[in-house]
């Protein structure tokens, strides 16, 4: 019982660690906070994007007039995102080019598809924003923690230079303090790696969903492109 009471607490081990190890721990804790902030924000963004895509697809395939749908999206105060943005860009460019009576249907479709592709790239860039930060934190945090551990162990053994008889009891506290750096490094890295892999997969699925919509929308626009201009 006395041995348990006499064991140093985790906080005490952190406070007793060398300055370099404490600095490493601070860096890793800051990286963990940044990582979780990105994870929570990115999760909200992806959930909202999927929900908005489902809502838009329901309205798009409901048989509603495309011009009316476009005006509804364009009339909102907030800019369109996700699938709505792709539709808005494509339909706006299609309508603009269709007013040019001399333009061929092929050129009309190429212009609309280019506009949709630009919108899609912007959306993918928005969804992938800060994912590279998660990848960086996940990849380097264990090494930063390992550096703190190695430094702490070196510091612990250097303290034995002036001691005639070294015992495990003398170096154990220093080694324990140093190993905390590795633990914190893993604590920062594991959620970042898991979140990066999960979010990357979700972004890829959304990109495939956008590609499918672009193909379907292009088929609809193709019929309008070959229809008489006055119709």
Q: What does the alpha-carbon distance between residue 90 and residue 40 come to, in Å, rounded to a whole number? A: 32
176: its two tokens: 């324990």
Cα-Cα-Cα-Cα torsion 40, 43, 47, 48, nearest 10 degrees, comes to 60
Q: What is the pLDDT of residue 3?
A: 40
Domain ranges of the chain: 11-226
Residue 85 CB burial class (10 angstroms; 0-12, 13-18, ≥19): buried
| Sign for the pseudo-dihedral over CA of 101, 106, 112, 115 | negative
pLDDT, tens only, 104-132? 889 999 999 999 999 999 999 999 999 99
- Cβ atoms of 49 and 127 within 8 Å: the answer is yes
25: its two tokens: 């721990």
- Ranges of residues in the chain with a pLDDT under 70 are 1-8, 10-11, 13-17, 156, 159-174, 227-231
- Cβ atoms of 225 and 105 within 8 Å: the answer is yes
Q: What is the pLDDT of residue 224?
A: 83
Residue 211: strand, helix, or coil = helix
Q: What is the pLDDT of residue 128?
A: 95
Q: What is the pLDDT of residue 162?
A: 62
């Amino acid at each position: 019982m006395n041995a348990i009471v006499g064991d140093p607490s985790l906080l005490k081990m952190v406070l007793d660690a060398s300055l370099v190890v404490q600095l490493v721990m601070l860096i890793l804790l800051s990286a963990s906070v940044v990582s979780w902030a990105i994870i929570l924000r990115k999760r909200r963004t992806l959930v909202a994007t999927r929900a908005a895509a489902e809502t838009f697809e329901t309205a798009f395939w409901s048989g509603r007039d495309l011009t009316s749908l476009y005006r509804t999206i364009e009339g909102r105060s907030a800019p369109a995102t996700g699938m709505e943005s792709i539709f808005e860009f494509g339909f706006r460019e299609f309508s603009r080019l269709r007013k040019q009576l001399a333009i061929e249907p092929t050129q009309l479709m190429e212009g609309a598809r280019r506009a949709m592709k630009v919108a899609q790239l912007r959306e993918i860039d928005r969804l992938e924003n800060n994912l590279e930060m998660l990848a960086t934190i996940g990849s380097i945090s264990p090494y930063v923690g390992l550096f703190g551990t190695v430094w702490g162990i070196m510091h612990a053994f250097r303290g034995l230079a002036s001691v005639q008889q070294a015992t495990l009891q003398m170096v154990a506290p220093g080694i324990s303090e140093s190993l905390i750096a590795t633990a914190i490094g893993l604590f920062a890295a594991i959620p970042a790696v898991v979140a990066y892999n999960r979010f990357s997969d979700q972004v890829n699925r959304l990109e495939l969903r956008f590609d499918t919509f672009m193909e379907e929308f292009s088929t609809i626009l193709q019929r309008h492109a070959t229809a008489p201009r006055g119709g």
